[in-house]
Structure 1
Amino acid sequence: MSDDRPVPVIIDCDTGVDDALALLFAVRHPGLDLRAVTCVAGNTDVAGVVRNTLTVLEIAGAGDVPVARGAERPLIEPARSARHVHGEDGMGDIPGLPAPARAAADVDAVTLLRREILASPRPVTLIPTAPLTNIALLLRTHPEVTRNIERIVFMGGAVATGNATPVAEFNVWHDPEAAAILLTAGVPITMYGLDVFQRVTVPGADVRRLRASAEPGARLAGDLLAHRPSAPEPDGDDPRGGLGDAGAVCAVADPAGLTTAALPVEVSLAPGPARGQTVVDRRPRPGEDELHHGTRDRHLVDVALEVDVERYVKLYLAVVEGRRP
């Protein structure tokens, strides 16, 4: 951060388990000014995403941060949820979560995004942690917003291995056309992909401490971290949990913990096993394809390649537990 003023941020999410972890952190970090949250179908249906988002913000003590409902399906594909990972309610089916006391804004997500981006006195950092449908609709409908966007830090994609398919990460796979549109935004973009996403995990002892906390937000973070669908019971032998999407917000709050490289990235849109793959070119020089057919118009993205795991875990725990980061 260049000065002591909080960084204005907007999160676009599909609140499941790790989006909720990201929201808890964004609300409580003193260096972030969460101006709005927009919702899109992904981990669960968009109505569930709105409900989950409002609940998490209330537990986190977010006040009147506006929340808006967005796209209920991708641009072309049908909606395909990840309830097998995030539970039937998208929040790990944690018992006793309260229903939200307030409703979403009376405008749609694209309208809210445009309003809050253009109204911000400083350029906004946009943090999509979900399929990129809302962002694509915003960029195509209101391209003027890019003049007040500092950077887009999105959780999505992978340099190496995917999770939705062998090569495609879920958020990009869910709406590949939207991800391709994102790459044409004309603003700096950071790709926080699976290569770093899967590495940032919170040790079991810390998860147990959070779950025992009397403070509702810290306790919710512990319950979310302990949600592991492959475990025979919530605690198992070691309730180690991944920060997931929250790592992308940590990277905005503390970019020095992330190692990136400016690399050409394109999204595979053709039908078949590679659809939704983020093709990241790490070659030091052009290959035969470029020599014979010319270089395609590809977009440079700051791709996350390494992450300081301990740094981000310590940062996350300090912020969520109300200690000085």
Structure 2
Amino acid sequence: MNGQPIPVIIDCDTGVDDALALLFAVRHPGIDLRAVTCVAGNTDVDGVVRNTLTVLEQAGAPDIPVGRGAERPLIEPARSARHVHGADGMGDLGLPAPTRTPADVDAVTLLRREILASPRPVTLIPTAPLTNIALLLRTHPEVTRNIERIVFMGGAVATGNATAVAEFNVWHDPEAAAVLLTAGVPITMYGLDVFTQVVVPGADVHRLRASTEPGTRLAGELLAHRPAHQGEAPEAEEAGGLGDAGAVCTVVDPAGITSRLLPVEVALAPGPTRGQTIVDRRPRPGESEIHQGVRQQPLVDVALEVDVDRFVKLYLETVER
């Protein structure tokens, strides 16, 4: 990393792991968090706005503008993940209501304003369904001239979580994800393949929870709410997955992932594959392309492996700063 912090905008649906991502972004000196935009996903959009403002407040963040975005996907109804993130979308931790208020413009307007006003090209980090991003790209395509790249948490090469093959953020709004892939800027896909691997050990989570500093303690409480995997040994009980925060770690430490530039498309047809990110890892075209002609799919930098210890160390050093 060079000396200057990276201008970043996070588009999120603040549930537990989006909150972990925000805490990291606020505290890492290599990130200049210029705005946060909110979209329906883990919980309804008003809950996302409230959670986002609360996290920024608890983290002691400067006055970062927060924009309220889409209430629902482009076509589908909204379908929350409260069974994972709690009734309030944030682990039901009983956090105080925020004293901060959102920006007086909507998320798409805020995205356009902050991207074009940035003195250096912005890195956009969507950790949510991609509705706001699709609306931005279709309404204000001129923003791409000042976007360095998009690093999104979404998709899966192998196994999904919303369905057998589809990851939640892409499944929630597949059409929006398909629009993202046509953005015409470099895109990194931080999918479930690496997302599920980065787990903070129980002893570290316990230490964070015991902190007297509000942001550090909140990171511990969120991690404790986000169990690694069911059926683990009791000593792993407090261990928690970093989830979305890994995508932000990737921005400041790209060497922490092993990735390949691969063709990716989103399955849009109704049925069991809807929302799947189809990642073509074949070394050469197959019969389909030979007989029907090659369709050019967008090339995406797909994260295939992650250095777990490196990202855990980076995360802990940052939130305990």
Alignment partners' CA distance in 2, 1:103 and 1:270:
39
Residue equivalent to 1:83 = 82
Alignment partners' CA distance in 2, 1:206 and 1:240:
8
AA at the equivalent of 1:124 = V
Greater Cα shift, 195-204 or 237-246: 237-246
- Structure-2 change in CA distance of 1:71 and 1:222 (3 Å): same
Greater Cα shift, 303-312 or 223-232: 223-232
Alignment partners' CA distance in 2, 1:236 and 1:145:
48
- Structure-2 change in CA distance of 1:237 and 1:194 (3 Å): closer
For residues 230-309 of structure 1, the aligned pairs below 5 Å read 238-309=237-308
Q: Over residues 213-233 of structure 1, what are the superposed CA-to-partner deviations in whole Å (9 max), with x where a residue is unaligned? A: 00000100000000047879x
Q: Over residues 27-80 of structure 1, what are the superposed CA-to-partner deviations in whole Å (9 max), with x where a residue is unaligned? A: 000000000000000000000000000000011111210000000000000000
Identity %: 83
Alignment partners' CA distance in 2, 1:237 and 1:165:
27
Residue equivalent to 2:194 = 196
Match of 1:134 among 111, 132, 152: 132
AA at the equivalent of 1:117 = I
Residue equivalent to 1:111 = 109
Match of 2:176 among 175, 178, 192: 178
- Structure-2 change in CA distance of 1:236 and 1:48 (3 Å): farther
Q: Over residues 106-149 of structure 1, what are the superposed CA-to-partner deviations in whole Å (9 max), with x where a residue is unaligned? A: 10000000000000000000000000000000000000000000
Alignment partners' CA distance in 1, 2:91 and 2:123:
28
1:211 matched to 2:205: no
Q: Secondary structure at the match of 1:226?
A: helix
Q: Secondary structure at the match of 1:49?
A: helix
Q: Over residues 260-297 of structure 1, what are the superposed CA-to-partner deviations in whole Å (9 max), with x where a residue is unaligned? A: 10000000000000000000000000000000001112
CA contact (8 A) 2:7 2:123 kept: yes
For residues 40-119 of structure 1, the aligned pairs below 5 Å read 40-95=39-94, 97-119=95-117
AA at the equivalent of 2:267 = S
TM-score by length of 1: 0.96
Residue equivalent to 1:123 = 121
AA at the equivalent of 2:146 = N
Alignment partners' CA distance in 1, 2:60 and 2:299:
38
Alignment partners' CA distance in 2, 1:295 and 1:48:
44
- Give the RMSD, CA atoms, in angstroms: 1.3
Alignment partners' CA distance in 1, 2:306 and 2:161:
19
TM-score by length of 2: 0.97
AA at the equivalent of 1:155 = M
Alignment partners' CA distance in 2, 1:157 and 1:188:
16
The number of aligned residues is: 318
Q: Secondary structure at the match of 2:283?
A: coil
4+ residue runs over 6 A deviation:
229-232
- Structure-2 change in CA distance of 1:168 and 1:213 (3 Å): same
AA at the equivalent of 2:52 = T
Q: Over residues 61-105 of structure 1, what are the superposed CA-to-partner deviations in whole Å (9 max), with x where a residue is unaligned? A: 11210000000000000000000000000000013x111101100
Greater Cα shift, 57-66 or 222-231: 222-231
Residue equivalent to 2:31 = 32
Alignment partners' CA distance in 2, 1:238 and 1:245:
20
Residue equivalent to 2:222 = 224
Alignment partners' CA distance in 2, 1:236 and 1:264:
41
Q: Over residues 123-181 of structure 1, what are the superposed CA-to-partner deviations in whole Å (9 max), with x where a residue is unaligned? A: 00000000000000000000000000000000000000000000000000000000000
Residue equivalent to 2:16 = 17
Unaligned runs of 5+ in 2: none
AA at the equivalent of 1:267 = V
AA at the equivalent of 2:215 = G
Per the TM alignment, residue 238 of structure 1 is displaced from its structure 2 partner at its CA by: 1.8
Per the TM alignment, residue 236 of structure 1 is displaced from its structure 2 partner at its CA by: 8.1
Residue equivalent to 1:153 = 151
